[in-house]
A and B are shown apart, each in its own frame.
Chain A
């Protein structure tokens, strides 16, 4: 089996981790990497040392432009002839992966949760229906696999043999970029947080969130929130949003405060360690998805919890 990883120079090493994982299951896996947007010789060697037998570099294409990125994939695909194309999932990458796949007449499998082998068949596992159902998908190769960021660790570097090939691609843009507006740099990376205190509609005003921030401060936790807080009320920026369309998190502890527990929210905390829910409604669905539930008024419980924790944590 041959795997082609596709990325810019900074984010592709974890895709080699995907390849390493596959080679533990499937015999004779060969891996090659496509780097879009150019890189130095040393950077390409880094890919070779971690498992790529060949590195294709398309210097002129901009990975942030889906039209150019898809053209780069199509061009290199015809040379590499892979069975699986591994791409790190993002909004833009879904766009160019779909374009490339359709041009190549191949399949796509979006956002895999893990890989599994059953009856000798390689299956890609996806979570669908807002987190309620696991789908086991067998790919007809060749296909493109979209892998959520951080799913696999880059392999350890070894002495590797490989070549670097520069590829020229002709691209044409039909959609013109007028301007780019940077979003405020995310101060929090929820995906990497160890502890998260998350807030929902149980809070009556933006000012009231202070009690949750105080608790997070004592715990050394990050602040998360449900969809309405970020998307509708805009009390917190999107970087705090946990859920299907927000961030999918995997902290040691996730504390949902004043969150009722819609499926779309639960989909974001599937990989969380211990889930604690505090809600005054004993019938709130969040309790079904919690390890520990506290039925109580967040306005009473949270400040008290903060006070007691500040006394007992070193």
Chain B
């Protein structure tokens, strides 16, 4: 039996995020939430461990995007999806004081929730989230819980209480080993996550989804980075379509643009 916790970020679905053309402000509040891409791999890895060794999978999510009234109910769908993939219980931590929380606060809250649960053997998280991509929350949780940490795992293997992993770094792969309880962050390459069917998602309605606030965890909030202001990225591109009826014409006109831009220098 291996009891795992998966950290599941409810990320802003960037594919559906629009920028207000008149103000240039991103309409973050209107974009839907989804499971952060790499966290799907974390869930899949936990499910594979459960299939092999048994045990319980609990997912923990901290709601960092407001407004809370809208988001807390909206969070249900992606969490049902996680439950349908094989998570046994989903915990959603939703509190006004956690909106735009910094990484330290987020990690402290997650660690607090895990400490409350007790009896956790392995914590799995994605290497980073698709919205914030700070890539530090998993590491901070390990420090808060004072347990070993393995980051950037592209492969993990559990034998007894020995966890072996391949850390996928820029120039080399480091094969490492530690004992559980431990926390591991995984890369996209670790697996191909299963896609739950609509039926499985409906069935997952029976699984517990608990919403809790800060008071239930008993963690003080003391942010170290102030909430940020945002602006849409201005793409300053020319957006000129090269004209031409035939491939030959298109190529000639493209080459002319390349010369005008000084990308190529034609011989005299």
Listed in ascending order, the chain A residues whose CB lies under 8 Å from chain B are 64, 66, 90-92, 94-95, 97-99, 101-103, 105-111, 126-140, 143, 174-183, 185-186, 195, 219, 231, 244-245, 252-253, 263-264, 270, 274-276, 287-297, 300-301, 304-305, 308-309, 312-314
Of B102, B170, B175, B228, chain A has the most CB atoms within 10 Å of the CB of: B228
Interface contact B263-A253, CB-CB below 8 Å: yes
Beta-carbon contact of B254 and A291 below 8 Å: no
Question: For residue A65, which residue of chain B has the nearest CB?
Answer: B174
Given contacts A129-B14, A133-B28, A178-B177, is CB(A219)–CB(B264) below 8 Å?
Answer: yes
- Chain B 161-179 interface 0/1 with A at a Cβ cutoff of 8 Å (1 = within): 0001000111111111110
B241 touches A304 (CB 8 A): no
Partner of A231, one of B140, B164, B170, B189: B189
Q: Report which residue of B28, B233, B240, B250 has the largest number of chain A beta carbons within 10 angstroms of its beta carbon.
A: B233
Interface of B (DSSP majority class) = mixed
What are 24 pairs between A and B in contact, CB < 8 Å?
A91-B151, A92-B151, A99-B142, A108-B103, A110-B134, A129-B131, A132-B17, A134-B230, A135-B229, A136-B229, A137-B228, A138-B225, A139-B225, A140-B225, A140-B226, A175-B148, A176-B176, A177-B176, A180-B174, A219-B264, A290-B237, A290-B239, A296-B247, A304-B251
Give 7 closest A-B pairs by Cβ, nearest first.
Answer: A107-B224, A314-B267, A98-B139, A98-B136, A102-B143, A110-B134, A291-B238
The residues of B that contact A97 with a CB separation of less than 8 Å are: 136
- B229 contacts which chain A residues (CB < 8 A)? 135-136
Q: How far is the CA of A231 from the CA of B127 in the complex (A)?
A: 16
Check B263–A274 contact: CB distance below 8 A: yes
Residues on B with C-beta less than 8 A from A177 are 174-176
Chain B window 115-137, contacts with chain A (Cβ cutoff 8 Å), 1 for yes, 0 for no: 00000000000010011111111
In the complex, the answer to whether B252 meets A308 with C-beta atoms within 8 Å is: yes
A103 x B173 contact (CB < 8 A):
no
Known A-B contacts A178-B175, A292-B254, A293-B241; the reply to A110 vs B133 at CB < 8 A is yes
A-contact bits for B14-28, CB 8 A (1 contact / 0 none): 110101000000101
Instruction: Write the nearest CB–CB distance from A127 to chain B, whole angstroms.
Output: 7
Q: Which of A106, A136, A313 contacts B266 (CB 8 A)?
A: A313
Kindly identify which residue among A66, A138, A178, A313 contacts B151, using a CB–CB cutoff of 8 Å: A66
Contacts between the two chains (Cβ within 8 Å), count: 240
What would 9 more interface pairs be, CB under 8 Å, given A290-B239, A304-B248? A97-B136, A132-B233, A135-B230, A175-B176, A176-B178, A180-B173, A288-B235, A296-B250, A305-B255
State A87–B249 Cα separation when bound (angstroms).
50
How far apart are B170's CB and chain A's nearest CB, in angstroms?
Answer: 6
Chain B residues lying within 8 Å of A130, measured Cβ to Cβ, are: 14, 130-131, 133
**CA separation between A97 and B139, bound complex, in Å?**
9
B contacts with A, residue count (CB < 8 A): 78
Min Cβ gap B114→A in Å is 15
Bound Cα distance A132, B228 (Å)? 15
Q: What separation, in Å, do the CA atoms of A296 and B243 have in the docked complex? A: 11
B144 sits at the interface (CB 8 A): yes
Counting CB contacts under 8 A, is B188 at the interface? yes
Question: Of B143, B172, B173, B248, which is in contact with the most chain A CB atoms at under 10 Å from its CB?
Answer: B143
Q: With A and B bound together, what is the CA distance between A263 and B130 in angstroms?
A: 10
Distance of A189 Cα from B36 Cα, bound (Å): 29
B224 touches A287 (CB 8 A): no
Closest to B229 in A: A136
Residues from chain A with a CB closer than 8 A to the CB of B225 are 107-109, 137-140, 143
A94 partner residues in chain B, CB cutoff 8 A: 135-136, 139, 151
Known interface pairs A108-B136, A183-B171; A263-B15 also in contact (CB < 8 Å)? yes
Q: With A133-B26, A181-B173, A231-B188 as known contacts, state yes or no: A101 contacts B264, CB within 8 Å.
A: no
The interface bits of chain B over 99-122 (1 if a CB of A lies within 8 angstroms of the residue's CB, else 0) are: 000111001000000000000000
Chain B residues closer than 8 Å to A292, beta-carbon distance: 238, 240-242, 254, 257
Cα of A174 to Cα of B134 in the assembled complex, Å = 24
On whether the beta carbons of A263 and B14 are closer than 8 Å, the reply is: yes
Given A94-B139, A135-B228, A294-B254, A275–B242 Cβ distance below 8 Å? no
Cβ-based interface call for B149 (8 A): yes
